[in-house]
Structure 1
Amino acid sequence: MATTAFSCSRPLASTRSSPSSPFSSRRFLPSPRRRGPSTRTRTRIHLRAGSSLKEWGDFEDAVRSRDLPRALRFLQSVEPPPAQPSTESAAGGAVARVALPAPPGRDWEVLDACIDADDMRLVGRAYQFLADRGVLANFGKCKNIVLEGPREVTPTVLKEMTGLEAIKLAPKKWGLSGSSSYVLIGFLGGVSYLLTQGVDLRSNLAAILALVTADAMFLGGTCVAQISCFWPPYKRRILVHEAGHLLTAYLMGCPIRGVILDPFVALRMGIQGQAGTQFWDEKMEKELAEGHLSSTAFDRYCMILFAGIAAEALVYGEAEGGENDENLFRSLCILLDPPLSVAQMANRARWSVMQSYNLLKWHKKAHRAAVKALESGYSLSTVIRRIEEAISSDR
């Protein structure tokens, strides 16, 4: 399930290192004396360290405590070292600059502090900071895809572009399709067999149904989802689904706060009953605050929303999950002015899932890398790193 998180707060003020700052040390070594009364040239050796081990330890502590403002403030205070040492000549002498590089790959870790951030603008600032540093080379590289091609997508066009019937790209009700139907048949068969053997399960079944109903009403199905996660095929499908949301949001330039795979953690963060990927679309938030929503922002949001369904269809040949994504899509269509008709909603859904399907197909290697990283329990920064590495190697 894809979720959005909108919030506003004062933007973080950037800081820059200065000669007196602890992040930039300057040491001058006197040059040896030269012979001759007319020569007063001195050579200065300028050592510049981006940070010390202790200071990077403070950065690690900020990441562990999920203190995004402090972690980002530290990175902004550390100027990147020059690519190579340079020598400057001046009237008073020569200056040799030697840069001590910061530990490689440490700046990625700031993304791990985004999960508890209340200010999504600060999360966006963290992604933009890394993108400006050249770390997130593919962040937002496909954001202009929403400007391309027609919007009319019939079921026939959808099949021609994806090779799948429209019914294969629609969420399924549990127990009516896929492997869940076999589980349901097996359960009903087992109950029937026990009843024929004289084992009365009516009281137990009534209690189970009552608990399931209460879970669905008050916890959004969290308990059932937690139990289902112990079934490997179900868990694998969730990973495929969420990796689709994650990769599409990343390529479309929407900052991701985190991917939640534990149903109880998702419940604590307001995502009831299942896993979820939280991303933020700054343009969409701004337009909604102004009382309008452009077609470009709406299309981008719909592509990310249907990316989980598209990912399942790409890997398994059909989608089972994504019912909540569809419900969220319908609720947003009703809020538009004027609201979309049923036929328009169906057409927009087909366009969105087709675009997401093709985008994930073009980046299939990156999607597999994201699934493996999520399956291994890696942090968000590592997952995004795996995506970047997969895209770079695929070139």
Structure 2
Amino acid sequence: MATPTASPHSLLASASASARAFPFHNRSLRSPRRGPRLRAGSVKEWREFEDEAGAVKEWREFEDAVRRRDLSRALRFLQSVEPAAAGTAVTQVVAAPVPPGRDWEVLDACIDADDMRLVGRAYQFLVDRGVLASFGKCKNIVLEGPREVTPTVLKEMTGLEASKLAPKKWGLSGSSPYVLAGFLGGVSFLLTQGIDLRPNLGAVLALATADALFLGGTGLAQISSFWPPYKRRILVHEAGHLLTAYLMGCPIRGVILDPFVALRMGIQGQAGTQFWDAKMEKELGEGHLSSTAFDRYSMILYAGIAAEALVYGEAEGGENDENLFRSLCILLNPPLSVAQMANRARWSVMQSYNLLKWHKKAHRAAVKALEDGHSLSIVIRRIEEALASDR
């Protein structure tokens, strides 16, 4: 059955009626209207928006470099956005100005840097920017004070006996006897409860021996680090190294607080602060070592012991620091005698003790920042803030 079709006239009429019923059909067939014209200010704002978007993209590259601990790339980026020095003939246009505080983050990329000279350039860059105002402020302190430091002089200057500044062997002093007594008490309790430890005792002793021989006690140190007083003492010790190195103008590569990470990085001991002395490296490369460079290095080595003595009244850690000091004394030409080593050690710890005492607020700030798990850039920023508040 055929379907009736409408005539051409009726189709046109239907379309016309539809257009009257739905006016937007007609408008859709017309040429599009011109949009509102952008004011001159709007164009400027749009360009500013594009510049800001480009800056954000560029800073993401910096964040990626810091996250990957690529110090060379991070430093190269900061140098690319650094304004030209005043007085130059050509004015540099910076598309991505440095946001406040962002340039500090380059220090977080130092930890994996193999070239310590690159670490030194990162610190010098921030010094030139006026960010690290107190870096190296005490580097001339090694020229001050008496050179002959007897135990009597040491006590007069610090109020501490020389024996209080000597690193202790585990289990003989400090808090370790209480840990040992607690361990023996626990074993005794288990035995009284009828629990036979003999089947596992050999395995425990074997693991402890292997840890001592092959891991340098790293496993035991990792377990001990969970005990808050012990962990706090480590933070105090390392903050002493960090602050002294900073005030003496020695770039810090990083602070390692995990014993296994320290072992992987070749650090002797449960934790470590890695710093670099450019002058000392240069002199050793030339086959000599000046007294000034050696004194500065010795002060930083003994700063951990000095920090513990300042906070707790005596030092427990620092055995590896002393071993490193002795090995360096032997390399001198001529090497120091035992009496000269002892005098130089007392001088170094006295200088570090007084330096930390003068900057006690900055040391507390460093300990707190390390305790909170902050990165190196934040720790150094807290140090600068504490030092600025004392001015």
TM-score band by shorter chain is 0.7 to 0.9
Equivalence for 2:329: 333
Q: After the TM superposition, which parts of structure 1 deviate over 4 Å for at least 4 consecutive aligned residues? A: 97-101, 192-200
2:294 is the alignment partner of 1:298: yes
Q: SS at the partner of 1:52?
A: helix
Percent same amino acid at aligned positions?
Answer: 88
Q: Is the 8 A contact 2:105 2:377 kept in 1?
A: yes
Matched residue, 1:257: 253
Q: Does 1:237 align with 2:233?
A: yes
Q: State the match for 2:69 in structure 1.
A: 66
Q: Is the 8 A contact 1:146 1:300 kept in 2?
A: yes
1:73-152 equivalent positions in 2, closer than 5 A: 73-80=76-83, 101-152=97-148
What residue is the counterpart of 1:52 in the other structure?
Answer: 55
Give the distance between the partners of 1:70 and 1:59, measured in 2 at CA. 8
Quote the offset at 1:192 in angstroms. 4.5
TM-score of the superposed pair, with normalisation by structure 2? 0.82
The aligned counterpart of 2:340 is 344
Are 1:139 and 1:250, in contact at CA under 8 Å, matched by a contact in 2? yes
Map 1:34-53 onto structure 2 (within 5 A). Answer: 52-53=55-56
**Residues 186-243 of structure 1, C-alpha deviation per residue, up to 9 Å, x if partnerless?**
3234435555666543443332222111111111111111111110111000000000
SS at match of 1:134: coil
- Residue of structure 1 equivalent to 2:217: 221
Higher-helix-fraction structure: 2
In the alignment, structure 2 segments of 5+ residues that lack a partner are 1-39, 41-50
Q: 1:265 to 1:99 in 2, by over 3 A?
A: closer
Residue 20 of structure 1 corresponds to none
Letter in 1 for 2:298: C
TM-score by length of 1: 0.81
Native 8 Å contact 2:81 2:94 kept in 1: no
Taking structure 1 as reference, are residues 266 and 113 closer, same or farther at Cα in structure 2, changes over 3 Å only? same
Asked whether the 8 Å contact 1:138–1:251 carries over to 2, the reply is yes
- CA–CA separation in structure 2 for the residues paired with 1:350 and 1:142: 19
Alignment partners' CA distance in 1, 2:372 and 2:202? 38
8 Å Cα contact 2:308/2:314 also seen in 1: yes
| 1:198–1:391 Cα change, 3 Å | same
Q: Highest CA radius of gyration, 1 or 2? A: 2
Alignment match, 2:204: 208
Give, in whole Å, the separation in 1 of the partners of 2:60 and 2:297.
38
- Larger strand fraction of residues: 1
Give the root-mean-square deviation of aligned CA atoms: 2.8
Alignment partners' CA distance in 2, 1:324 and 1:272: 7
Instruction: Tell me if 1:278 matches 2:274.
Output: yes
Partner of 1:312: 308
Structure-2 separation of matches of 1:283 and 1:81 = 29
The letter for the 1-side match of 2:61 is: D
- Residue identity in the other structure for 1:127: Y
Q: Secondary structure at the match of 1:220?
A: coil
Query: Greater relative contact order: 1 or 2 (C-alpha under 8 angstroms, separation 6 or more)?
Result: 1
**One-letter amino acid of the structure 2 residue matched with residue 128 of structure 1:** Q
Mapping for residues 349-388 of structure 1, pairs under 5 Å: 349-388=345-384
Give the letter aligned to residue 57 of structure 2: K
Q: CA deviation at 1:101?
A: 4.8
Work out the CA distance in 1 between the residues paired with 2:245 and 2:94: 40
Please name the residue that 1:87 is paired with.
none
Instruction: Measure, in 1, the Cα distance between the counterparts of 2:94 and 2:383.
Output: 33
Q: Which moved more, 1:188-197 or 1:360-369?
A: 188-197
SS at structure 1 position matched to 2:273: strand
Distance 1:209 1:323 in 2: 24
Check whether the contact 2:365–2:383 (CA below 8 A) recurs between aligned residues.
yes
Residue equivalent to 1:41 = none
